[in-house]
Amino acid sequence: MAKKKQKAAKKPTSKASARKVVKLAGKKPAAKARAKSNGNGHLPRMSTKPYGQAGRALDGVKILDFTHVQSGPTCTQLLAYMGADVIKVERPGAGDITRGQLRDVPNADSLYFTMLNGTKRSITIDSKHPKGMDILNRLIKTCDILVENFAPGALDRMGLTWEYIHKLNPRMIVASVKGFGPGPYEECKVYENVAQCAGGAASTTGFREGPPLVTGAQIGDSGTGLHLALGIVSALYQRIRTGRGQKVLCAMQDGVLNLCRVKLRDQQRLAHGPLTEYSQYSEGVPFGKAVPRAGNDSGGGQPAWLLKCKGWETDPDAYIYFITQAPVWNEIADLIGEPTWKTDPDYATPKARLPRLKKIFARIEEWTQTKTKFEVMDICNALDIPVGPILSMKEIAEDESLRATGTVVEVDHPTRGKYLTVGNPIKLSDSPAKVERSPLLGEHTEEVLSKVLGYSASEIADIKTSGAITPPKKEEKAA
Ligand code: COA
């Protein structure tokens, strides 16, 4: 058995073995899984363990997490959920600024921090202290990925330039979030709503008559964190072939624009005539030069609108989003008591309906107002009519099914007690998410120094007195 294992781990040395791999490409999956090298490593044997018991997707991946606030932390938290060992480096005594922002429980880390930094370890290091830099050097040599979202130039000012890091660890992937990519704004500091405005989201959100609007979904921060996570795992995959790390950059403006792709689509369509699916068209309002704000219009080709449901007078969330999808038009007409609209030439085709959308939705709303949003949901889904209830955060927090799938998770924290967090929204069938509470500031400093970096007890004692991992004394702070 031991011999067999050794054989599987042996590297291919000849052209013949490389040819064998190419040949195997046409064979059955099981045979392929048993195949050896692709020239840069070894394909492992297919696991015989049941699904969900073969570890996590990113087991063994170590991340030096230099992130703060929201964009970077969302990225590294996702990677932690996938199994990566995320070591969050924080400034001694202060930590990530969000620990104290929007605090709801006195002397406890805020939900802002705890919900973005679960499943990570926290180590405090003053990167501007020589001994702190020694620790960082060791971390760079040990870790696979450095993730940061400092203001432009801050990492370089610490001495951690790409050239320096690459020399120390050529395999390291250096992943950054910045507000803007190279160009006139590259030096700017950027927060969520700045990115929403610069990425095209705000100008296309809201009602035509009103000002631009930012959205509650954190597409600038969490959206860019998500983009960065994809860049990181892609770079990890490429590293298997190339053996070297690379820089991964996600600009928040780019991330937002990527999510606003359909609006850039509409900008180009404007050159060829009005956007007929926008309610502005059915209202006879001419289009200007840029994509207008479209209220609650659907971004796709199926007209839709937000409609009141029973109880809307007192409940601000008693609404349903109703899509008049063409294939179920007959069902909609029957449901709202307008069976003649199935054959009436003014209503029977999607094109004929376009100039009458306002009237159509007003009629549908007469019907939805007689039902609760959940009743509309049940009735319409039975007929394959796509609708979406407006769920309040209270309803989401209490939703049993979201708890059951691990999308909403309750974790226990030593100073703030139990809190809800969003678990991994990405479900992998062989990699169960690891959702744990966030660490206290510096909770794992000694553990990482000794177990990950191999410092001895006396070296750690030395570091402690040096001030590299402890908060500056009052007099130093004042100075
Ligand atoms: N030890 C010592 N110093 C540390 C440290 C540590 N462990 N960790 C951070 N610092 C220092 C840095 O060296 C830097 O100092 P310097 O400016 O003197 O070089 C400073 O702390 C970090 O500053 P910065 O990133 O500029 O923080 P900020 O609070 O002024 O700005 C942002 C915050 C978010 C605006 C800015 O980081 C940014 O634009 N980031 C990129 C875009 C982004 O991610 N925005 C979304 C945030 S949700």
* 257 CA distance to ligand 1 middle (Å): 24
**CA distances (Å), 335 to each of 203, 364, 379, 383, 477, in order?**
36, 9, 9, 9, 70
* Strands 120-124 vs 408-413: parallel, antiparallel or unpaired: unpaired
Alpha carbons 297 and 357: distance in angstroms, whole number: 11
Give the DSSP H/E element, type plus range, for residue 32: helix 29-34
SS3 323: strand
* 249 CA distance to ligand 1 middle (Å): 16
* 365 CA distance to ligand 1 middle (Å): 49
Of the two residues 27 and 269, the one the predictor is more confident about is 269
Give the torsion sign (CA, 107, 112, 118, 122). negative
Question: How much is the pLDDT for 19?
Answer: 38
User: Does 476 score more than 90 pLDDT?
Assistant: no
Beta-carbon contacts of residue 128 (< 8 Å; ≥ 6 apart): 158
Of the two residues 299 and 113, the one the predictor is more confident about is 113
The set of protein residues with a Cβ atom below 6 angstroms from ligand 1 is: 69-72, 89, 91, 125-128, 149-151, 154, 157-158, 177-179, 189-191, 221
CB 73 within 8 A of CB 118: no
Residue with the smallest CA separation from ligand 1 atom 5 is 91
User: Does 253 score more than 50 pLDDT?
Assistant: yes
Instruction: Catalytic residue, from 221, 254, 266, 297: name it.
Output: 221
Give the torsion sign (CA, 172, 177, 181, 186). negative
Report residue 222 CA to chain centroid gap.
5
Question: How much is the pLDDT for 204?
Answer: 97
Q: What angle do CA 69, 74, 75 make, to 5 degrees?
A: 120
Nearest ligand 1 atom to the CA of 188 is: 39
Give the torsion sign (CA, 402, 404, 407, 408). positive
Q: What is the mean pLDDT of residues 33-46?
A: 60
Of the two residues 134 and 298, the one the predictor is more confident about is 134
Residue with the smallest CA separation from ligand 1 atom 31 is 151
What tens digit of pLDDT does each residue of 232-245 get?
999 999 999 999 99
* 188 CA distance to ligand 1 middle (Å): 12
Q: What is the mean pLDDT of residues 350-370?
A: 94
Question: How much is the pLDDT for 474?
Answer: 62
User: Does 479 score more than 60 pLDDT?
Assistant: no
Question: How much is the pLDDT for 279?
Answer: 87
Please give the structure tokens belonging to residue 44: 């492992």
Nearest ligand 1 atom to the CA of 157 is: 19
Residue with the smallest CA separation from ligand 1 atom 9 is 91
Residue with the smallest CA separation from ligand 1 atom 26 is 151
Q: What is the mean pLDDT of residues 99-128?
A: 97
* 151 CA distance to ligand 1 middle (Å): 5
> Does the active-site annotation cover 315?
no
Question: How much is the pLDDT for 298?
Answer: 82
Measured N-to-C along each axis, helices 71-81 and 222-242 cross at an angle, to the nearest 10 degrees, of 50
Chain mean pLDDT for the chain: 91
pLDDT band at 41; cut points 50, 70, 90: low
pLDDT band at 435; cut points 50, 70, 90: very high
pLDDT band at 301; cut points 50, 70, 90: confident
What tens digit of pLDDT does each residue of 402-434 get?
999 999 999 999 999 999 999 999 999 999 999
Return the minimum-mean-pLDDT range out of 165-169, 273-277, 341-345: 273-277
Question: How much is the pLDDT for 39?
Answer: 47
Q: What is the mean pLDDT of residues 164-171?
A: 98
Residue with the smallest CA separation from ligand 1 atom 22 is 150
User: Does 28 score more than 50 pLDDT?
Assistant: no
Question: How much is the pLDDT for 300?
Answer: 77
